Amino acid sequence: MGLFDGIAQGFAVALDPINLLYVFAGVLIGTVIGVLPGLGPTATIALLLPLTYTIEPATAVILLAGIYYGSMYGGTITSVLLRLPGEAASVVTTFDGYQMAKQGRAGPALGIAAVGSFVGGILSVLGLMLLAPPLADLAVSFGPPEYVALTALGILLVTYLGSGTPLKSLSMAALGLLLATMGQDPITGTTRFTFGSVALFDGLDFVAVAMGLFGVGEILHSLERTEKVQAVTKKITHIWPTRKDFKDSSGAIARGSVLGFVIGVLPGGGGVISSLASYALEKRRAKDPSRFGRGAIEGVAGPETANNASSTSAFIPLLTLGIPANVVLALIFGALLVQGVTPGPQLITEEPEIFWGVIASMVVGNVMLLALNIPLVGVFVQLLRVRAGILAAFALLVTMAGVFSVSNDSFDMWVVLVFGVIGWLMKKTGFEPGPLVLAFVLGEIMERAFRQSMLLSGGSLDIFVTRPLSGGLLAVMAAVVVLSLVMARRRRAAFRQVDPEDEFGREDGTGPVEGEPGLSAEPATGRNARHTSDSTDSDAASTPGER
Amino acid sequence: MSTSAPAPAPARSPRSARSQLHRIAPLLLLALGVGALLMARDMGLGEFTAPGPGLWPAIVAGLLTATSAALLFLDPAEDYEPWTAGTARIVAGLAGLALFIVLFQTIGFVIPAFLLLFAWLRFFGGESWRMALVLAVAGAIALHLVFVVALGVPFPAGPVDQLLGA
């Protein structure tokens, strides 16, 4: 199928009235939860997973994708107005966006973020259309050893490029792989780690694990913080940026699009890394870097563009290789698996309506978001009045009812509860739930591919190295480890360099809205942020009159 | 990773509590890894040529064991959030959720849903009695309508289902 046939088919799917409704629902929910305190895109997608089983696979992914990139728009609003990132990738926006708001330019900050996100999203969709099919063609020739190498690469990249300590993330990935082995052995049918429980014969349910770790775990964690969000009452005007604003930020938007796209394709690279990279780039390029942190519009436009571009291009590894690039995509991957669709190189030929439909829906969704955001910012801001306690109570109940509905089994409710406790404890102890869930999703594929490879090679581990593709992938893996170690150091340096304030907020973007930001900072970033906390600009933290 | 909530550490001595905690998480993981290794060995490792059911679990359990053993020594202590008085609220919240599941299995959705919402809104959300009552009644009925009536989820039968049109 040619590119244009594919695109045409995609739009036919995306413009179907039902799917249009779901795109709209997705981007609206995404924006809302981006703004709402205490719920991030990961938790929301986890909560909505049970719902997606009742709808078509293409529609389900269209909905979930809409939530994902929609939250990138929504998260900006709280970053600019309250200096509290609604989701992870908007952390960087707090630097200059909040300063702009203090200068009475909240409108243009939000406007340029929406425009930038739109441009980044659309350009990234174009890149996705051009890059994904050839990549899928290449990947079709992959055999089991390549899949072992690919899944290992995916897990490794997420642990290295993610937000936590690599070693801790790696141990969580190992735990995820171990949890995935519970239940019947895929080849011999022997039961493993079931402890005599019939309910565990099929293993742990992915939905229950994800909902427990991200949904209940988050809610429990937020219970410990009792601070309330302050409602915003200030009116926001002049949302559409002036010509000068556009002129100032057009370069940042263009660079942010490219940067975000490239970083998003790398596993583990979406979201906060892309916005941070863009901020660092803009600051370095600026004639007067001292403006950054004091309300430079490029500091809002670039990162916001980059994070939306990366959230789109992050779909490339999922749709072409079957490797989720980050946690949100791992959840989408899981949603497809339960539907009986295995994302991978065959997706484009076997399920073209999913592949092209999702891509086309992103175009539609970004148009909707632009149309929603410019006029309706004031309405979304009112959402900040919703109290976190009310939201948490309902989210919990919906989680419990939702997980029961997946297989009409109350055992899954206990699984959610147990993983809720684990998720909360992980937050307390600085372990990342992301690698665990990703590894849990990939575990079965990886084991099957590993055992098939062993059968192919007659028990020799050489097969992973001698086959050109898997050997190449393993070489990439080795290169990435080295590179990421370098990058991690540079990233730490970048954090130190770009951080004008004393806080970062959480990487998962759900916490700080109701907590005291300095306390809830994610360990890795928070540690770095602390280096500068005492020396810089402490008056900005204590201006309640502006809120 | 324990599956039960550890007792909240006393807030008075955060330093010693933290240094304790520093070791507990990797130790638990290490115990889990070693336990899984032993169980995997019992399942039968087989050979690389003919992998048994225990081979792959043994490999990943080995990875878990190795990483958690390394974490015993390399884990940065700053990663750990201090335990606060709020931890007690979590334990209470967990007990409430467990009670909800038990009640749900015996008397259906509506009443436990109302109780969960009401208790959570009043005690954790800090809503007024009236607000909590109104929201809990409305929420329980609305979710019953969504899940049972609209989506047809077969929740366990309960005493008030007929009234709401199950």
Q: Residue B139 half-sphere exposure, CB side, CA atoms within 13 Å?
A: 26
Measuring CA to CA, which residue among A137, A174, A191, A201 is closest to residue A442?
A174
Residue B51 three-state SS: strand
DSSP output for A202-241: T---HHHHHIIIIIIHHHHHHHT--PPPPPP-------SP
Examine the domain organization and report whether B55 and B117 are in the same domain: no
Give yes or no for a contact between A402 and A50, defined as CB atoms under 8 angstroms apart: yes
Dihedral, A182, A185, A189, A190 alpha carbons, nearest 10: -60
Rounded distance between C-alpha atoms, residue A73 and residue A366, angstroms: 10
Residue B105 lies in a domain: yes
Average pLDDT of the residues in B5-32: 61
| Interchain CB distance below 8 Å, A401 and B147 | yes
Give yes or no for a contact between A448 and A185, defined as CB atoms under 8 angstroms apart: no
Cβ atoms within 10 Å of B82's Cβ, excluding its own: 14
Query: Given a cut of 80, is residue A40 above it in pLDDT?
Result: no
* Interface with A, mutate which of B24, B37, B60 (most A CBs under 10 A): B60
Point out the residue among B48, B78, B139 whose CB comes nearest to the CB of A454: B48
Residue B61 lies in a domain: yes
Give yes or no for a contact between A155 and A439, defined as CB atoms under 8 angstroms apart: yes
Rounded distance between C-alpha atoms, residue B162 and residue B79, angstroms: 52
Examine the domain organization and report whether B34 and B73 are in the same domain: yes
Rounded distance between C-alpha atoms, residue B76 and residue A111, angstroms: 41
Residue B114 lies in a domain: yes
- The alpha-carbon gap from A402 to the nearest alpha carbon of chain B, in Å, equals 8
CA A496 to chain centre: 23
Domain that holds residue B54: 14-79
Averaged pLDDT score across all residues of chain A: 78
Residue B137 lies in a domain: yes
E strand or H helix at A257, and its extent? Answer: helix A243-265
Examine the domain organization and report whether B66 and B92 are in the same domain: no
Q: Does B90 touch chain A (CB under 8 A)?
A: yes
Point out the residue among B21, B86, B104 whose CB comes nearest to the CB of A410: B104
Residue A319 three-state SS: helix
CB pairs under 8 A between A and B: 196
| Interchain CB distance below 8 Å, B64 and A459 | no
| Interchain CB distance below 8 Å, A181 and B104 | no
pLDDT of res. B146: 83
Average pLDDT of the residues in A3-15: 87
Give yes or no for a contact between A168 and B75, defined as CB atoms under 8 angstroms apart: yes
Examine the domain organization and report whether B97 and B35 are in the same domain: no
Examine the domain organization and report whether B153 and B120 are in the same domain: yes
| Interchain CB distance below 8 Å, B64 and A178 | yes
Q: How far apart are the first and last CA of chain B?
A: 40
Rounded distance between C-alpha atoms, residue A535 and residue A228, angstroms: 28
Residue B3 lies in a domain: no
Query: Given a cut of 60, is residue A513 above it in pLDDT?
Result: no
Query: Given a cut of 80, is residue B19 above it in pLDDT?
Result: no
Examine the domain organization and report whether B99 and B160 are in the same domain: yes
Rounded distance between C-alpha atoms, residue A379 and residue A209, angstroms: 34
pLDDT of res. A122: 93
| Interchain CB distance below 8 Å, A168 and B104 | no
Q: How far is CA A58 from CA A13, A20, A27, in A?
A: 8, 12, 16
- The alpha-carbon gap from B118 to the nearest alpha carbon of chain A, in Å, equals 9
Examine the domain organization and report whether B74 and B93 are in the same domain: no
Reported confidence tier of residue A271, pLDDT bands at 50, 70, 90: low
Residues 6+ apart with CB under 8 A from A105: A238, A295
- Residues from chain B that touch A405, judged by Cβ atoms under 8 A, are 147, 151, 153
Give yes or no for a contact between B99 and A417, defined as CB atoms under 8 angstroms apart: no
Measuring CA to CA, which residue among A348, A163, A374 is closest to residue A272?
A163
Average pLDDT of the residues in A447-469: 83
Dihedral, A49, A52, A53, A59 alpha carbons, nearest 10: -150
- Kindly give the interhelix angle for A144-161 and A433-457, rounded to the nearest 10 degrees: 160
The residue among B79, B99, B126 that closes a domain is B79
Going from N- to C-terminal start, the domains of chain A cover 3-228+241-541
DSSP output for A492-504: HHHHHHH--SS--
Q: Which residue has tokens 């990139």? A: A69
| Interchain CB distance below 8 Å, B105 and A410 | yes
Query: Given a cut of 90, is residue A465 above it in pLDDT?
Result: no
Point out the residue among A168, A181, A223 whose CB comes nearest to the CB of B71: A168
Cβ atoms within 10 Å of A260's Cβ, excluding its own: 38
Query: Given a cut of 70, is residue A279 above it in pLDDT?
Result: yes
Residue A463 three-state SS: helix
pLDDT of res. B10: 42
Q: Does B64 touch chain A (CB under 8 A)?
A: yes
DSSP E strand stretches across A67-192: 183-184, 191-192
Bigger pLDDT: A434 or B79?
Answer: A434
The residue among B79, B114, B132 that closes a domain is B79
The DSSP 8-state label assigned to residue A191 in this structure reads: E
Residue A184 three-state SS: strand
Phi–psi pair at A192, nearest 5 degrees: -130, 135
A20-56 core/surface letters (b: 16 or more CB in 10 A; e: else):
bebbbbbbbbbbbbbbbbbbbbbbbbbbbbbbbeebb
Examine the domain organization and report whether B97 and B147 are in the same domain: yes
Residue of chain B with shortest Cα separation from A525: B79
Rounded distance between C-alpha atoms, residue A354 and residue A325, angstroms: 18
Reported confidence tier of residue B108, pLDDT bands at 50, 70, 90: confident
ipTM field: 0.83
- The alpha-carbon gap from A429 to the nearest alpha carbon of chain B, in Å, equals 4
B60-69 pLDDT, tens digit per residue, is: 999 999 988 8
Rounded distance between C-alpha atoms, residue A26 and residue A12, angstroms: 18
β-partners of residue A192 are A183
Point out the residue among B79, B90, B101 whose CB comes nearest to the CB of A224: B90
* Interface with B, mutate which of A47, A156, A197, A397 (most B CBs under 10 A): A397
Structural domain count of chain B: 2
Give yes or no for a contact between A495 and A276, defined as CB atoms under 8 angstroms apart: yes
pLDDT of res. B163: 66
Give yes or no for a contact between A47 and A343, defined as CB atoms under 8 angstroms apart: no
Average pLDDT of the residues in A182-190: 79
The residue among B24, B56, B79 that closes a domain is B79
B120-161 pLDDT, tens digit per residue, is: 888 888 888 998 999 999 999 998 888 888 777 888 877 776
Residue B9 lies in a domain: no
Point out the residue among B125, B151, B153 whose CB comes nearest to the CB of A392: B125
In percent, the amount of chain A with pLDDT more than 70 equals 83
